[in-house]
Every structure is written in structure tokens, then in C-alpha cells.
């Protein structure tokens, strides 16, 4: 595994985990089960703190007035 792969994977998984209201222990368990990596609680806290402002901005972004939906039906 490359040197920073754990941090990169955690940064991608962190916002989803934070949105779901997962605890640090839950996130550690999820990362261990999904990616097979063991990370410290301190690292999880640092990464989630680093992306917290970005996550809040994304959650509060203006939404488009129209959302196109395409239904695909196949037999």
C-alpha cells in the first residue's frame, strides 16, 4: 500500500461517515472491514476535522431548481 493511501481513502470515506453520524469507533471498524486498514482514532479525528468545513459548504449549497429524471425500463 502506498505511503498515503490510508489517508486518501479515509478522506474519501470520512464525509460519508460524518454525514451518517458515525462515531470514531464506528469509522475505525468500517475502514478495517471495508479496506482492511487499521487507523488511529487521532488520524480519523484529524481528517474529519480537516474536511468538516468543506462538508458543511456542500450540505448548504444551493440546489438546482429542476432535477431531470430518466426512467429506463428493460425486459
* pLDDT at position 1: 45
- What is the widest separation between alpha-carbon atoms in the chain? 51
In a domain, 20, yes or no: yes
In a domain, 70, yes or no: no
Q: How far are the Cα atoms of 1, 23, 67, 68 from residue 50, in angstroms, in the given order? A: 23, 16, 31, 33
For 1, the grid coordinates are 500500500
As for how many domains the chain has, the answer is 1
For 26-72, how does the pLDDT look when each residue is reduced to its tens digit (9 = 90+)? 889 988 998 898 999 999 888 888 888 888 888 888 988 888 888 88
In a domain, 69, yes or no: no
Cα dihedral 46, 47, 51, 52 sign: negative
In a domain, 23, yes or no: yes
In a domain, 25, yes or no: yes
Amino acid at each position: 500500500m502506498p505511503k498515503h493511501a490510508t489517508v486518501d481513502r479515509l478522506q474519501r470515506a470520512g464525509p460519508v461517515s460524518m454525514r451518517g453520524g458515525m462515531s470514531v469507533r464506528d469509522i475505525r471498524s468500517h475502514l478495517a472491514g471495508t479496506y482492511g486498514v487499521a487507523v488511529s482514532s487521532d488520524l480519523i479525528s484529524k481528517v474529519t476535522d480537516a474536511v468538516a468545513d468543506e462538508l458543511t459548504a456542500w450540505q448548504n449549497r444551493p440546489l438546482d431548481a429542476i432535477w431531470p429524471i430518466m426512467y429506463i425500463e428493460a425486459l
